Each structure stands twice: as C-alpha cells, then as structure tokens.
Structure 1
Amino acid sequence: MAEGDAGTDSETRPKGIEALKQHVVTHKVEVSLWCTRLAAIVFTFAYIIPLFWNPASAYYRILLANAATSALRLHQRLPTMQISVQFLTQLFKEDSCHYLLYSVIFLYVSPSIFIILPVFLFSLIHFASYSLTLLDLLGQNTWWGARLLISLVEFQSRTILRIIAFSEILVMPLTVAFSFFGKSGLLTIVFYYHFLTLRYGSQRNPHTRLMFSDLRIAAEHFANKPGVPSYLRSAILSVIATISRMAPIMPHSQ
C-alpha cells in the first residue's frame, strides 16, 4: 500500500509542475507582473534592512519595479496605443497609469519610507492573490504555510487599501516639506497634486476619495468640540474649505 501511495505521489507531483510550466508559458504577462511585484517587495525589505543593498539603491529599484509593473498592467488594459484625445482620457483613468507617474515623480526625490509604502502594499496584495493561483496549480495541499500568510493578507485587504489611501494623502504634505528642505523640487508638489487628483477620481479604486471624506469628517468633528479654541477651529475649517475647493468635481453617479 505504501508503494502504491508513493507511486501516486510521484505521478501527481510532475503533473503539478507541468501545469505550472504550462501556465507560465501561456500567461507570460501575468507571471511577469508577479515577478515585478515580488521584486518591489524584496527591495522594500532591502531598504528597511540594508544587508545586501544600499538603502538609496533599494529605494530606486522599488520605484523601477513599480514602473515596470504599471507599464505591464497598462499593456494589459490598453494593448493598442493610439494618438487621440479619447485614448489619453482613458489612459489617465487607469490606476496603473497613476502609479507609473508616481514612480516618475519620486525617482529623483530623496528616499522616504512613506513614499514606498503604497507601492509595497499594492505589490503585496496583488502578489499574494496571484501566488494563490500558482499554488493551486501545484496542488491544493502544497505550501500550507504560504497559503496561511496569503489568507491573512486577503482577509486584511480592505484595511490595507485604506492604509494605501491614507499614505497617498500623507505624501502630499511630505512633498511640501521636502521642497522646503531641498530634498525635492517645487515641480514635485505640482506633479504630485495632479497624481492625487487622479487617485481621487479613480473609478476602480474609491478608497482615496473615501479616505478624504473620512478625514474631513474627523477634522470637522474635532473642530466642533467645545474645548477647541476659536482660532484653531477657524484654521481647521479654513484648511478643509481650501482642500475641498481643490478637489476635482466628480460625476453624481460616483
């Protein structure tokens, strides 16, 4: 009986490997995306724990890996490039286009953990999701430890997306501070503001827009507390009004 079981296992394993090989051949773009996201994750850990790479080098590698991921996703979403207003309008609606611009904006800015945080978290979510697909090809009972970690990431995906949205907003004042300290140029503020408006208007990912709304509600709640001085209340409400005027107008359906 043991010999029969061993024979069955030996027959099952090559089938899983062959299925994986076939999947890699027929889904080259998806597997390439999995690799670029893995690279972004690895370089993020290299940035935090600089054992093999200089932190600055790891930072730029993260942004380059993110740019490669975004370019591949754009190729998937918009395979045919056209020179037209309609194509450009559709291009700037794509989340992958937003993060391709993100990489370009911060490629020549001083490294910061807050800049690479949304890139890392996006990579982590999508890497975990596709890793489950690859593990299923190998067999339902393989790598149970990896499956457990993937399930934890997927269970917390909504929270992770909210953290990403908050970090996108937090980077805006960071770019302003960087410009004052000479760590970035003034154009970085302009470009990042446009990036943030694109994220605010994202059709596929509303979390940035929802986070702005949540922050506004929290700020107004704090400002209207009885113990808050009038000058601080006025300052907070003035900032809220200014940010609200700068926000893009969204269609009523959204």
Structure 2
Amino acid sequence: MADTNGNRENNDAPPSDGSGDAQQRPGHTSPLITHLMQNKVETTLWLTRIFTVVCAIMFMLPIFGGNPYSFYQRTLLATAATSALRMHQRMPHVQLNMDFLRLLFTEDSCHYLMYCIIFLNSYPMTMSLIPCFLFALLHACSFTKTVLNLMGPTSLMFVRNMITKLEAQQVNILRFIASTEIFLMPATVILVFTGKSSFFLPFLYYRFLSLRYASRRNPYNRIIFSEFRQATEYLCSKPQCPQIVRNLSFKCISIICRLAPVATAQ
C-alpha cells in the first residue's frame, strides 16, 4: 500500500526537468550573494573603492553636474575609509606603545589615511586625486574578477577586458602614481605662494612623501627618485648645460638626498 501511494503521488506531481529547481527552492541564495556575505570586509573595501573611482570621475569630468568640491571631498573620504579599514585588517590589535606606532607608520594604508587628511580641506587639485583614483581602480580589479566569475564565465566581457588591460599596465600605473606623489611636493609649495593653501601643507606633505619613500611594500618612489637623479646628473654633465644650472641642480640633489629617509627593509 505504501508503494502504491508513493507512485500515485509521483504520478500526480507536475513533470520537471530540474532546470529551475535551485531558483524555486525556498531560502536559496545565489553564490554571488553568499560570497559577498561571507567576505563582508572585502566587500566593503570593494564598494568604497568603486565609490572612490566614481567620485573621482565626477570631479574630473564635471559635465555630469553637481558640486565638484563635494566630489573632491567624497573621493578623499572614501579613500580614507578604505585606508582605515585596510589598516585595521593589517593591524587589528591596537597597542599604546612606540613599537606599535613605528610599525603603524610603515603601513601604506596609514600613509594614505594621512594623505587624505592633509588634502581634505585644501584647495582642490586634480593631481591630488590621481593616486586615490588609480589605487582604487587597481585594488578593485581582483575582487571584481571574483564577482564576475560568480555571475557567470562570460558575464560583462568588456569589463573583463578592461581589467586584463589594467593588470597588464600595473607596473606603469604604479610608476605614474609615484611620479605624481613626487610632483605634488612642488605643487603644494606653489599653492602656499599663491595663497590657496596653509603654510603647513608642504611640511605635512613632506612627511607623507618621506614615509612613501621608506615604504616596505612599494619601492616605486625610491625607483623614480633614483631615475630622476640619474637623468638630472646626465643632463647636467653635458657641455651644453650652463654652469649656473649645473650648480643649482647639484645643490638641489644634495638637499633632497639629505632629506631622504633611510628605506626600511621588507
């Protein structure tokens, strides 16, 4: 009798090919949502980086409307939030001692948290948003690929192609970011002389740049500084170079070398 009733129940049920069982199952969650919920910190970092990219574009291309200064501040605030969260990931246990502070200031995330604080209330410059924009774009690529893979192997191919091209140019982008960080130093001095910035901005930015030069994980500032020095010495060694320019260049090189901190080994 039990077998007969079971067969009758199966016969009365509507036929199914199994294609929509997962979607119809109560309480089913897609792999994408599951991954985002299981990796909340990485998801938050990804969202803040995407927000940074969008706000930077809105500032650089004001054709979309809105207040450019508000987008400028939002870009820096989003970068600061990303840096603070990343810094918490790297050093979750806070300690009130000098060893912890020394270790804290070796973290790149701490550098850029300081960077955002320095420029947050300064005169808005497109140059100051370039490192924030490019770092957010690069760091968002890995998680974006994971999201696209969970959405489907062929989803948003144009985004996949853009990510592939960005990753192929990663070294050039990091070099460009380092160059921008270096050229921001004279830019801050110019802002002071034009009355658009506080007198303390160049001193604060020098501290940031010295930390970037001594970074354990990012050697590109040291590489770019070295290449600039070699190029300057090469040009000054030519007979066509005026003596006054040669002397001034070598004095500037000497001053910069004295100001440069000792790079810490990784």
TM-score relative to the length of structure 2:
0.88
2:175 to 136, 155, 162: 162
- 2:166 maps to 1:153: yes
1:27 alignment partner, one of 35, 39, 58:
39
Moved over 3 A (4+): 10-14
Q: CA RMSD in A?
A: 2.0
- TM-aligned CA deviation for residue 11 of structure 1: 7.0
Q: What CA distance in whole angstroms lies between the structure 2 residues aligned with 1:226 and 1:154? A: 42
Whether 1:74 and 2:87 are equivalent positions in the alignment is yes
Q: Does 1:195 align with 2:244?
A: no
CA contact (8 A) 1:43 1:59 kept: yes
- Please say if 1:233 is aligned against 2:263: no
Give 2:116's match in structure 1, choosing from 82, 103, 111.
Answer: 103
Alpha-carbon distance in structure 1 between the residues aligned to 2:18 and 2:227? 59
Q: Distance in 1 between matches of 2:18 and 2:134?
A: 42
d(CA) in 1 for partners of 2:55 and 2:74? 7
- Which one of 139, 148, 152 corresponds to residue 139 of structure 1? 152
> % of aligned pairs identical?
43
> Contact 1:223/1:232 (CA < 8 Å) preserved in 2?
yes
Measured after TM superposition, the shift of residue 12 of structure 1 is 8.6
Larger Rg: 2
The DSSP-based 3-state class of the residue aligned with 1:183 is coil
Deviation at 1:250, TM superposition (A): 2.9
Distance 2:38 2:59 in 1: 34
**Number of aligned positions between the proteins:** 247
Q: Which one of 62, 66, 71 corresponds to residue 58 of structure 1?
A: 71
1:128 is aligned to 141
Tell me how far apart the structure 2 counterparts of residues 86 and 103 of structure 1 sit (CA, whole Å).
Answer: 24
Distance (Å, rounded) in 2 between the aligned partners of 1:12 and 1:157: 40
- The CA deviation at 1:129 is 2.2
- Report what 1:223 is aligned to: 236
Deviations 1:161-200, CA, capped at 9 Å, x for gaps: 0000000001000000101111111111111101001000
Residue 256 (structure 2) aligns with? 243
Indicate the residue corresponding to 1:184 in structure 2. 197
Q: Do 1:13 and 1:138's aligned partners in 2 also have CA atoms closer than 8 Å?
A: no
Structure 1: gaps (5+ residues): 1-5
- Does the CA-based 8 Å contact 1:108-1:184 persist in structure 2? no
- Give the C-alpha shift of residue 248 in structure 1: 0.5
Stretches of structure 2 that go unaligned for 5 or more consecutive residues are: 1-16
